[in-house]
Chain A
């Protein structure tokens, strides 16, 4: 992965009809060759950001560039080098899939028939059928095929696995990993953390139109630790647990919940002062961390 930025977004704002928030000050940089996961709940602003990058909609303020080119002014050159899988896939349903591929290829200029053949085989597709006969999963595969059809330098995928069954999802993750190894830059939105964890190098989390965190996956994992839930027999002093390595404390009656990242020894010592009725410790997952960001924000922006 190089350090050359492929996508650079600064203070991007978009309010639909001047009042409905799309994004509200997004800052983001994606580097050449990396697989970047763009995470956020529905309505957070992921698709708005992506559509601005492709000049399907225009930002109110802020700037966005791809390959160092302005997303509006140089949109055609950007799209010449960028593949895109929309989150809401729309096809001309009455045509045969091969016709759609040919049309798309004609719009792109020229497409290597070898790539079409390879991708079709790899995705296990039958292009001789009408698109309306396709299942949702097959339509998604067709979208993936079109996104990679002309060997683009950058691929933008908006929730790419939303219609794929677990088996196909796995195949797709492998496919992405291979594409990543070939040096392709991939910018992928999702609200499924497990897939981002599996295929992405870095992740950006967007909430209410603002970036709340941009982290390497390894950094996120280092923050995971354990979730410890303790039910005491007696009253306890929560101040005893405000110790380094405990990042989150919740109290509910005689029950205490701690998010412990390292320093387990100090936590156990603090607990040993009290009579404990029940004790539960479980791994703090990325999903928990993700939900924490969703609900509260936080994390460190890069």
Chain B
């Protein structure tokens, strides 16, 4: 047998029991949580209906025929404490309303997709019932392009919201479920931890995104850190590396074979994750709203992120002979990135720090809920994982494997 294949199989075989237990654990978690969704959705719908009650009437009036001035008017309705109006050149799916944070009279749009001319045209106002807009006249001969408006009604102390919309007629009529639970989601600490959710929790995708993708990402990172961060350093520490490298096995082959073995572990985790999610969705009859393709696309786009985590771990693992130090460095890096993410969320001035965390580039929310793949981030993670692999290999080849 080829020695590289022997290392691959040996590494994999030593991991498979733990891997099976881990996948079974996340599978159980997925199935249990997804099966909570129907109850949750029903309860949320009722809660919002009670909080906001009644219908909002929206009308759009063109003030004259030449200058494109419009007035959007809406009726107040019970429980609403204020309104925000948003204008967009495209329809505004609820999933794209990202984390509106209303605090007192300050309205802040954390992130609003798509970036195609969407704008907040009327800030948070507790009393307003109308807003004026100007829509440029179309160029003669052009097709008429619709302009969409929506009114987001807030109730409660922070961000219970209801959204209704109007274009020339009406964009969408849906309820956004936001309540105490969503306040938690909107908290910067939670955003840093689980990602910028800002999705409607009553939809299956939004629910899965918050309840599963966020927590599973965390669990999987921890699993990878535990599995990989001390892999080589503990071998140097307990001297098994002496036995292995007393054979005609090159360090390069050992490193690459082990790397590939772990890539296989990553893929199995991703496949398990996908399968259990889909089984969960099937079990509650929501396949139409959360199809397998959407789940698989999201989970498999996790691979560059996983490889980056693996690359970090392998690098720390070969950099030191002390496995505790290797674990400490690896966990420290992730904790440090988490702190950076929090800081970037808390301060507009420091928001640039988010680009120094890898979490910024794994946006399961955008992929799964909005269907938007940010290829720049994926490419960056891929390049980073390759760089880390090369750095790890170089260090391992040059290192004294004993002290």
Measured CB to CB, the residues of A under 8 A from B are: 16, 47, 51, 54-58, 75-77, 79-80, 82-84, 86, 88-92, 94-95, 103-104, 106-109, 143, 146
Chain A contact residues, majority secondary structure: mixed
Min CB distance, A269 to chain B, in Å?
Answer: 56
Min CB distance, B342 to chain A, in Å?
Answer: 37
Q: Please tell me if the beta carbons of B242 and A107 are within 8 angstroms of each other in the complex.
A: no
Q: Please tell me if the beta carbons of A103 and B400 are within 8 angstroms of each other in the complex.
A: no
In the complex, what residues of B have CB within 8 A of residue A86's CB? 239, 242-243, 246
Known: A88-B239, A91-B240, A92-B240. Contact between A108 and B402, CB under 8 A? no
Q: Please tell me if the beta carbons of B242 and A103 are within 8 angstroms of each other in the complex.
A: no
Contact flags (1/0) for B273-314 with A, using CB distance below 8 Å? 000000000000000000000000000000000000000000
CB within 8 Å of A: which of B130-148? Answer: none
Cβ contacts A to B, 22 pairs, < 8 Å: A51-B401, A56-B241, A56-B245, A56-B401, A76-B250, A77-B248, A79-B246, A79-B247, A79-B249, A82-B246, A86-B242, A86-B246, A90-B235, A90-B243, A95-B14, A103-B6, A103-B10, A104-B243, A107-B247, A107-B248, A108-B247, A108-B248
CB-based nearest B residue for A142: B243
CB-based nearest A residue for B10: A103
Min CB distance, A189 to chain B, in Å?
Answer: 14
- Tell me the bound Cα distance from A206 to B247 in angstroms: 27
Q: Please tell me if the beta carbons of A106 and B246 are within 8 angstroms of each other in the complex.
A: no
Q: Please tell me if the beta carbons of A91 and B248 are within 8 angstroms of each other in the complex.
A: no
Contact flags (1/0) for B184-223 with A, using CB distance below 8 Å? 0000000000000000000000000000000000000000
Known: A56-B242, A84-B242, A90-B239. Contact between A106 and B248, CB under 8 A? no
In the complex, what residues of B have CB within 8 A of residue A109's CB? 3, 248
In the complex, what residues of A have CB within 8 A of residue B14's CB? 92, 94-95
Give which listed residue, A57, A75, A80, A95, contacts B400 with CB less than 8 A.
A57
Min CB distance, A63 to chain B, in Å?
Answer: 17
Q: Please tell me if the beta carbons of A79 and B239 are within 8 angstroms of each other in the complex.
A: no
Known: A88-B242, A90-B238, A103-B10. Contact between A56 and B400, CB under 8 A? yes
In the complex, what residues of A have CB within 8 A of residue B247's CB? 79, 104, 107-108
User: Among A107, A109, A143, A146, which residue has the most Cβ atoms of chain B within 10 A?
Assistant: A107
Is B1 an interface residue, CB under 8 A from the partner?
yes
Contact flags (1/0) for B41-59 with A, using CB distance below 8 Å? 0000000000000000000
In the complex, what residues of B have CB within 8 A of residue A107's CB? 3, 6-7, 244, 247-249
Is B403 an interface residue, CB under 8 A from the partner?
yes
In the complex, what residues of B have CB within 8 A of residue A54's CB? 242, 245-246
Known: A57-B400, A76-B250. Contact between A89 and B239, CB under 8 A? yes
In the complex, what residues of B have CB within 8 A of residue A94's CB? 14
In the complex, what residues of B have CB within 8 A of residue A92's CB? 14, 240
Q: Please tell me if the beta carbons of B3 and A106 are within 8 angstroms of each other in the complex.
A: yes
- Tell me the bound Cα distance from A143 to B242 in angstroms: 11
CB-based nearest A residue for B398: A58
Given contacts A56-B241, A106-B1, 17 further A-B contacts (CB under 8 A): A54-B245, A54-B246, A56-B400, A57-B400, A57-B402, A76-B248, A76-B249, A82-B246, A86-B243, A89-B243, A91-B240, A92-B14, A95-B14, A103-B10, A104-B243, A107-B6, A107-B244
Min CB distance, B248 to chain A, in Å?
Answer: 4
In the complex, what residues of B have CB within 8 A of residue A16's CB? 400, 403
In the complex, what residues of A have CB within 8 A of residue B398's CB? 58
The 6 A-B pairs with the shortest beta carbon distances in the complex, nearest first, are A90-B239, A106-B6, A84-B246, A107-B247, A57-B400, A80-B248
CB-based nearest B residue for A81: B248
In the complex, what residues of B have CB within 8 A of residue A82's CB? 246
In the complex, what residues of B have CB within 8 A of residue A80's CB? 248
Min CB distance, B239 to chain A, in Å?
Answer: 3
- Tell me the bound Cα distance from A95 to B242 in angstroms: 17
Contact flags (1/0) for B243-271 with A, using CB distance below 8 Å? 11111111000000000000000000000
In the complex, what residues of A have CB within 8 A of residue B6's CB? 103, 106-107
Give which listed residue, B1, B10, B244, B402, contacts A51 with CB less than 8 A.
B402
Min CB distance, B63 to chain A, in Å?
Answer: 79
In the complex, what residues of B have CB within 8 A of residue A103's CB? 6, 10
CB-based nearest B residue for A84: B246
Min CB distance, A238 to chain B, in Å?
Answer: 47
Q: Please tell me if the beta carbons of B401 and A57 are within 8 angstroms of each other in the complex.
A: yes
Min CB distance, A149 to chain B, in Å?
Answer: 10
Q: Please tell me if the beta carbons of A90 and B240 are within 8 angstroms of each other in the complex.
A: yes
CB-based nearest B residue for A20: B403
In the complex, what residues of A have CB within 8 A of residue B235's CB? 90
Min CB distance, A15 to chain B, in Å?
Answer: 11
- Tell me the bound Cα distance from A109 to B398 in angstroms: 25
In the complex, what residues of B have CB within 8 A of residue A146's CB? 243
- Tell me the bound Cα distance from A88 to B236 in angstroms: 11
CB-based nearest A residue for B235: A90
In the complex, what residues of A have CB within 8 A of residue B7's CB? 107
Min CB distance, A42 to chain B, in Å?
Answer: 15
CB-based nearest B residue for A80: B248
In the complex, what residues of A have CB within 8 A of residue B400's CB? 16, 56-58
Q: Please tell me if the beta carbons of B3 and A56 are within 8 angstroms of each other in the complex.
A: no
- Tell me the bound Cα distance from A127 to B330 in angstroms: 37
CB within 8 Å of A: which of B355-396? Answer: none
User: Among A16, A88, A89, A106, which residue has the most Cβ atoms of chain B within 10 A?
Assistant: A106
Contact flags (1/0) for B320-344 with A, using CB distance below 8 Å? 0000000000000000000000000
CB-based nearest B residue for A54: B246
Known: A86-B242, A107-B3. Contact between A56 and B248, CB under 8 A? no
In the complex, what residues of B have CB within 8 A of residue A95's CB? 14
- Tell me the bound Cα distance from A91 to B398 in angstroms: 24
Min CB distance, A223 to chain B, in Å?
Answer: 35
In the complex, what residues of A have CB within 8 A of residue B10's CB? 103
User: Among A75, A76, A80, A94, which residue has the most Cβ atoms of chain B within 10 A?
Assistant: A76
In the complex, what residues of A have CB within 8 A of residue B1's CB? 106
- Tell me the bound Cα distance from A80 to B246 in angstroms: 9
